[in-house]
Structure 1
Amino acid sequence: MVFTVGGIKGGSGKTTIATNLTVLLSKQGFDVLLVDADEQETSTDFTTWREENLQGEIGYTAIKLSGESVRSQILKLIPKYDHIVIDTGGRDTTSQRAAMTVSDVYLVPFNPRSFDLWTLNKVEKLVQEIRAVKANPLTAFAFLNRADPKGSDNNDAAELLKDSEVFTYLPTALVNRKAYSNAASQGLGVVELEVKDSKAIAEITTLFDSFKELISSEIE
């Protein structure tokens, strides 16, 4: 499958989602391609750190693409990989739209903050525009990332996302934990940290398992 991690608000943690998904899929034995379609190239930096820490044995293939070439090149690469994960920037760009046109799944993390949630209507419109011109279905999932350990903001944000008629809401929130940044700084997924954070591992695996189950049920 082709997964695009996107949105139109910077700082929502898209690269964290994209890289951890790539690592989990590769550890399950899949041949995975990670595509950095973000002009900030954070996924590329992640892969560079990973190559240094793991002596080049990163477990997946990584490339950089931008603009319309995201669509044209991905179409050529789909038959060569089990899964493709595309990391896009926090804006409505040509790269993100091109990625969405060739994707099966669109994953959008939201921080439980007003500025982030105010973009929901715009992202919904983006998904609807892509679906209108896309031959194959595009399943869109929304979830909370960098959530608070406690407090009402999470609940308020969750209720807003649940009401969306465009996105399927995933109820597993990723809490703002040091484990994610510690792992990223080493080019690792949270499941690979030497000092394990059981809560972070449970969150990320439950989140990905939940949307895989939903996708499977839709296919059946």
Structure 2
Amino acid sequence: MIIAIGNTKGGVGKTTLAVQLAVARALAGRDVWLIDGDRQGTAAAAIAARGEANRQPGIACAQYPDGPALRAQVQQQRHKWDDIVIDVGGRDSTALRAALILADVLVVPFAPRSYDVWALDDMAALIDEARSVRDGLRAFAVMNLADPGEHSADNADAAAAVAEVSQFEYLPTPIRRRKAFSNASGAGLSVTELSPRDPKAITEIEALESSLFNIHIKV
């Protein structure tokens, strides 16, 4: 499965989700390739930190911020991996557009803030463009950096607004603002590997992983 984590808006936690999903799949015994499609290289730096700490399993990682290079490398090597996770975006780029053509599943993280929800219109247009030249792309909007409260009005309002954007399927597995996610991802770790453990963070990322990969299997 090729899964892209992308958004034209920065600051929505896409790298955190990409690292969490890649490591989770590796811990489940899958051969995983994490591709950093952002010139900042944050995901690549996180995986490098994991390697320096000699954490197992190791995660293969490459950085391709250029769209043609990303597309060529994935096309050449996709058969070598069980799962490929592409972290891309922060702006409309050639890498983001290439990922939309390559991916089976697109995950678009958004925070429950008005500007983040409005920015999804840009991604919706890119999804329409990608679907005009390829079939089968499924796009899921996932609330990230959600308010911790179970009954947050901001969370509920944002979810309702996103559900009205036809290009996305809203996935009701929110990832809330928790230190465990930033602490773990910065070190290239899953929250399941972090000590002390945060059971709520673990439950949230496991729910997201299960939903995304089970959806793909059922298709």
TM above 0.5, yes or no, is yes
Letter in 2 for 1:166: Q
* TM-score for the superposition, normalised by structure 1: 0.94
**Is 1:26 paired with 2:31?**
no
**Is 1:120 paired with 2:115?**
no
**SS at structure 2 position matched to 1:169:** strand
**Is 1:202 paired with 2:203?**
yes
Q: Which residue of 2 aligns with 1:160?
A: 161
Unaligned runs of 5+ in 1: none
Q: Which residue of 2 aligns with 1:189?
A: 190
Give how far 1:58 is off.
4.6
Give how far 1:215 is off.
2.1
User: What RMSD, in angstroms, separates the aligned Cα atoms of the two structures?
Assistant: 1.2
Give how far 1:181 is off.
1.3
Give how far 1:216 is off.
2.5
Report the Cα distance in structure 2 between the residues aligned to 1:156 and 1:106, rounded to whole angstroms.
23
Report the Cα distance in structure 2 between the residues aligned to 1:99 and 1:69, rounded to whole angstroms.
11
Letter in 2 for 1:3: I
Matches within 5 A, 1:1-220: 1-54=1-54, 57-67=56-66, 68-134=68-134, 136-150=135-149, 151-217=152-218, 219=219
Give how far 1:189 is off.
1.1
Give how far 1:50 is off.
0.7
Q: Matched residues, percent identical?
A: 42
For residues 49-103 of structure 1, give each alpha carbon's deviation from its aligned partner in whole angstroms, at most 9, with x where no partner exists.
1112226x45221111122111111000111111100111211100110111111
**Runs of 4+ deviating beyond 4 Å:** none
Letter in 2 for 1:162: A
The 8 Å contact of residues 88 and 95 in structure 1, kept in 2 or not, is answered as yes
Report the Cα distance in structure 2 between the residues aligned to 1:185 and 1:30, rounded to whole angstroms.
22
Unaligned runs of 5+ in 2: none
Deviates more, 1:39-48 or 1:183-192: 183-192
The 8 Å contact of residues 51 and 58 in structure 2, kept in 1 or not, is answered as no
Letter in 1 for 2:144: N
* TM-score for the superposition, normalised by structure 2: 0.95
The 8 Å contact of residues 5 and 88 in structure 1, kept in 2 or not, is answered as yes
Give how far 1:149 is off.
1.2
Give how far 1:165 is off.
1.2
The 8 Å contact of residues 34 and 86 in structure 2, kept in 1 or not, is answered as yes
For residues 91-143 of structure 1, give each alpha carbon's deviation from its aligned partner in whole angstroms, at most 9, with x where no partner exists.
11001101111110100100001111111111111101001012x41110001
